[in-house]
């Protein structure tokens, strides 16, 4: 497992080299928004974007009227997120922090989302960070990515088949899908019991 400072350096370098590569939100967010988020929270709410990087998902959600907290280890990524957000930055709270040590605070969120980041041990804290009735949206690579070009090749960053479902055990699962296409991913929408 690489250390937090190695990961920070690696991501600072990536964001520094290709600042424009992380602008389009993953389509899962817009789909989940119309199917699950909007019906449950028609007037918006508060969201936490775990490892939000250059901000593509936080910014998209802020555009829909949500207040978002973005946490990421990479200062370069977070600075890009701030720039990319423009005036929407007023609705995003930017936090530079190491999520391997993530602890839920007293502030709970209506929505927690995680895209393409995996730290298995913090799932209990992620659930604690959600308000009862709140939604968790999660999507990241699976081990099938090893057969495809690109993406992480380190098993610590790849979900085993069915693993995401196990990680959210105790939540009510509304949507669960594993796909091998251009990327191999697992995605989930789950709600915390009231």
Ligand X SMILES: C[S@@+](CC[C@H](N)C(=O)[O-])C[C@H]1O[C@@H](n2cnc3c(N)ncnc32)[C@H](O)[C@@H]1O
Binding site for ligand X (CB under 6 A): 4, 7, 11, 22, 51-53, 56, 72-74, 77, 98-100, 115-117
Q: Name the residue with the smallest CB distance to ligand X.
A: 53
Shortest reach from residue 43's CB to ligand X, in Å:
25
CB 131 within 8 A of CB 115: no
Residue 100 or 170 having the CB closest to ligand X:
100
Three-class secondary structure of residue 172 per DSSP: strand
Residue 170 or 182 having the CB closest to ligand X:
182
Shortest reach from residue 53's CB to ligand X, in Å:
3
Question: What is the residue whose two structure tokens read 């909007």?
Answer: 38
Going across the sheet that includes 67-72, the strands are: 92-96, 67-72, 46-50, 109-115, 130-141, 184-191, 172-180
Shortest reach from residue 193's CB to ligand X, in Å:
26
Shortest reach from residue 16's CB to ligand X, in Å:
12
CB 175 within 8 A of CB 35: yes
Residue 7 or 178 having the CB closest to ligand X:
7
Residues 144, 120: Cα–Cα separation, whole Å: 18
Residue 41 or 117 having the CB closest to ligand X:
117
Residue 43 or 83 having the CB closest to ligand X:
83
Residues 165, 76: Cα–Cα separation, whole Å: 32
DSSP per-residue letters across 100-136: GG----S--EEEEEEES---GGGHHHHHHTEEEEEEE
Chain centroid to CA 102: how far? Answer: 13
Shortest reach from residue 190's CB to ligand X, in Å:
18
Shortest reach from residue 125's CB to ligand X, in Å:
13
CB 6 within 8 A of CB 40: no
Residue 93 or 116 having the CB closest to ligand X:
116
């Amino acid at each position: 497992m690489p250390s937090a400072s190695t990961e920070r350096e690696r991501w600072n370098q990536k964001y520094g080299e290709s600042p424009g590569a992380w602008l389009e939100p993953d389509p899962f967010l817009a789909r989940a928004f119309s199917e699950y988020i909007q019906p449950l929270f028609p007037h918006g709410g508060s969201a936490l974007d775990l490892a939000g990087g250059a901000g593509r998902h936080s910014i998209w959600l802020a555009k829909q009227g949500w207040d978002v907290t973005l946490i990421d280890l990479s200062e370069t990524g977070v600075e890009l997120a701030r720039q990319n957000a423009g005036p929407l930055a007023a609705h995003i709270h930017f936090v530079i922090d190491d999520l391997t040590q993530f602890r839920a605070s007293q502030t709970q969120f209506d929505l927690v989302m995680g895209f393409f980041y995996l730290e298995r041990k913090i799932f209990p804290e992620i659930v604690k960070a959600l308000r009862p009735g709140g939604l968790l949206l999660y999507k990241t690579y699976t081990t099938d990515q090893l057969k495809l070009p690109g993406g992480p090749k380190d098993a610590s960053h790849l979900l085993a088949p069915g693993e995401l479902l196990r990680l959210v055990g105790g939540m009510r699962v509304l949507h669960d899908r594993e796909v091998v296409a251009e990327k191999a991913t697992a995605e989930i929408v789950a709600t915390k019991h009231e």
